[in-house]
Structure 1
Amino acid sequence: MSKSQGMSRRRFLGTSLGAAAALTLSPSFLALAQNAAPIMRAIPATGETIPAIGLGSSATFAQVARSEDISAVRAVMDRMHQLGGRVFDTAPSYGASEEVAGQIAQDLGINESLFWATKVNVAGRGGGSADPTAARNQLETSFQRIGKEVIDLIQVHNMGDPDTQLALLRELKEQGRVRYMGITTTFAEQYEHLIRVMNNEPLDFIGIDYAVDNRDVEDRILPLARDRGIAVLVYAPFGRTRLWARVGDRPVPDYAQEFDASTWGQFFLKFVLSHPAVTAATPSTSRPANMEDNIGGMLGRLPDAAMRRRMIETVDALPMV
């Protein structure tokens, strides 16, 4: 992706919806797409823009990737690309996801146009020292699986020995083999460590968990990312499955129309994207219909500060699960 790859409404409709004409798209998606350009966000380090909704490959995606029939993950990756998504987040620890997705993307001919984000961690979750040789081997395996000479983003997964593994990523970045580097965690007990690394390392990205009912990162991590010019990928914007269990079969509030959300998925994603520090969210799914719904989360208006408070009140009033 080049720095100039912003996407106008006309280009979105022409290249994305035009290519997807054979797909069965929901009337609500089509209506919104006719009148709204996709939300693009700039990566602070370079100004390059990427679509604000992508695809993660943990959870159900990973489960399907391990199966003999991978047609569902092929379909969801194809749908994401056809509808304007570009960011694909994976990791060696997500079972077969990285390998299967790499092969599918090459088969579909979309490999070069995706913004590939993968990870490295041979130290384990937040502990121990990484074996540099093992980490290098893991990184080289990722290059082979993804099938690109240059990977867009590699992050240290779950705070695994940042000193060793960030040093390896710096080497790859200096060699021109990695465009961006970062670090991730989705564990609250690792937040203090993450903050120390953010303050002391030249990071391009962080990846964190954030949702309308999981807002701890708003206190220090998201403001620090803005101050330091660090892009933010959001994982688990649905609280994995927690938010779906909380809303049950309740209808989406009528006021969601004010920010162009017609489903709970779009409600949750638009809350996340409305935080100014967030660059993109990568919810995982193995269903094309869900991928379409998620892409709808980066179309149209976003809630303002007052609306965000109203959304929080709505969700906080739901039963805990």
Structure 2
Amino acid sequence: MAPAAPATAAVRRVKLGSQGLEVSAQGLGCMGMSAFHGPSKPEADMVALIHHAVAAGVTLLDTADIYGPHANEALLGKALQVGSVRDNVALATKFGKFLADGKVGIRGDPAYVRAACEGSLQRLGVDCIDLYYQHRVDKKVPIEVTIDELKKLVEEGKVKYIGLCEASASTIRRAHAVHPINAVQLEWSLWSRDVEEDIIPTCRELGIGIVAYSPLGRGFSYRVKSCYHMWSLNLPRFQPENLEKNAKIFDRVNAMAMRKGCTAAQFALAWIHHKGDDVCPIPGTTKIENFDQNVGALSLELTRDEMAELESYAAAADVHGDRYAQMANTWKDCETPPLSSWKEE
């Protein structure tokens, strides 16, 4: 297997959007440190991991107010207080999803946008959020209304750049017409390629950067036949009727990775790195050794033939099962009302 990258490995930079945002070609997804992947991990260990990532040259740290909720932002806030860490990172967080009575709600109205931003600024201990995403689109509020409030936050110096998550092509276009969108965060990996049909081309037409979350398929690239967290068992792709078929794809990718002298996870990350200089995957981890392995993917060079072979194994139509049990609140179901219908209460 390819050796893990040392903490001093150089990490190239990519530009997201046209407004000046430049980040490491690979970021760090911080969600699993505090939420959704079992109990929260020891704070000291996670702060050490974040500092290790920054020392390695990773500059994009990704969080959201719902991770915890709030605990992950507070964790990053503590990590940023050490030395010059804050000066060396682009801090990305998100608003729009919240928990109420155990259920997830979505809001994008101006009052909520502003209140969410103020809360994140306080928890993160910063004066300005580098990249502020709408985590999910509020289908009750015209996207123009939400983006206009974000535009005001930019003008006030509380936000530098604006992003969207899981937005449809038409939503992206409407938002971008109000204020430049610097990045769209979406699920993109060897196992989730349906965004290539419409969303990716729209982003590139408009000059918007692409941030790929779950670039390893929520663990698919690591241990497809082994035990998963219980939450994974609720995902259609991991159900027995689909997992057996999907495991065959993994086996072919893994065999190809072994011939290359790397892990399947590194191969999957290298694939997405080769999809364009406007792409930044944000694999998450809670272990330094896994982080080093992920960063090692940046040094892998794939030929056109290798890329074609990989894509022949994992075409969108060949992966069985959706990525979520309910595809609501994703780009496939996120249209908002026309601006003319808006009446603020």
Look up the match of 2:5.
Answer: 29
Question: How far is the alpha carbon of 1:204 from its aligned partner?
Answer: 1.4
> Would you say the 8 A contact 2:17–2:183 is kept in 1?
no
- Whether the 8 Å contact between 1:65 and 1:100 is mirrored in structure 2 is no
CA drift at 1:66: 6.0
Cα displacement (A) at 1:304: 4.4
Contact 2:96 2:106 in 1 (8 A): no
Q: Does 1:153 align with 2:157?
A: no
Matched-pair contact (CA < 8 Å) for 1:51–1:84: yes
Deviation of 1:64 (Å): 7.5
Counterpart code for 1:76? L
The verdict on how the C-alpha distance between 1:251 and 1:135 changes in structure 2, with shifts beyond 3 A counting, is: same
Structure 2 residue 17 is the aligned partner of structure 1 residue 44 = yes
Aligned match for 1:191, one of 162, 165, 168: 168
Runs of 5+ in structure 1 lacking a partner? 1-25
List aligned pairs for 1:156-305, cutoff 5 A: 156-160=134-138, 161=141, 162-185=143-166, 191=168, 194-197=171-174, 200-201=177-178, 202-244=180-222, 245=224, 246=247, 247=250, 250-251=254-255, 253-256=257-260, 262-276=262-276, 278-301=278-301, 303-305=302-304
For the 8 Å contact 1:53–1:297, the answer to whether it is kept is no
In the alignment, is residue 98 of structure 1 matched against residue 73 of structure 2?
yes
Q: 1:209 to 1:168 in 2, by over 3 A?
A: same
Counterpart residue type for residue 188 of structure 2: Y
Structure 1 residue 108: deviation in Å?
5.7
1:21: which partner in 2? none
Shift of 1:197: 3.6
Contact 1:122 1:135 in 2 (8 A): no
Q: Which has the higher mean CA deviation after the structures are superposed, 287-296 or 98-107?
A: 98-107
Contact 2:269–2:294 under 8 Å retained in 1: yes
Against the structure 1 CA distance between its residues 241 and 108, is the aligned structure 2 distance closer, same or farther, given a 3 Å change threshold?
farther
Where 2:87 maps in the other structure, the secondary structure is helix
Looking at structure 1, the residues matched to 189 and 298 of structure 2 have their Cα atoms a distance apart, in angstroms, of 16
SS, match of residue 298 in structure 1: helix
* 1:307-318 superposed matches below 5 A: 307-315=306-314
- Does the CA contact (< 8 Å) of 1:64 and 1:72 recur in 2? no
CA–CA distance in structure 2, aligned partners of residues 310 and 32 of structure 1:
32
1:122-133 aligned at under 5 Å gives the runs 130-133=108-111
- 320 and 42 in structure 1: CA distance in 2 versus 1, 3 angstrom threshold: same
Q: Which moved more, 1:247-256 or 1:230-239?
A: 247-256
Q: Distance in 1 between matches of 2:276 and 2:308?
A: 15
Q: Deviations over 1:267-321 (max 9, x none)?
A: 11111111126431111111111111111122343x3443221112345699968
**In percent, how many aligned pairs have the same letter?**
25
* Preserved CA contact (<8 Å) 2:97 2:105: no
For 2:157, the aligned partner's letter is G
Aligned residue pairs total 284
Q: Distance in 2 between matches of 1:76 and 1:137?
A: 30
Distance of aligned partners of 1:281 and 1:38 in 2 relative to their CA distance in 1, 3 Å threshold: same
One-letter amino acid of the structure 2 residue matched with residue 272 of structure 1: I
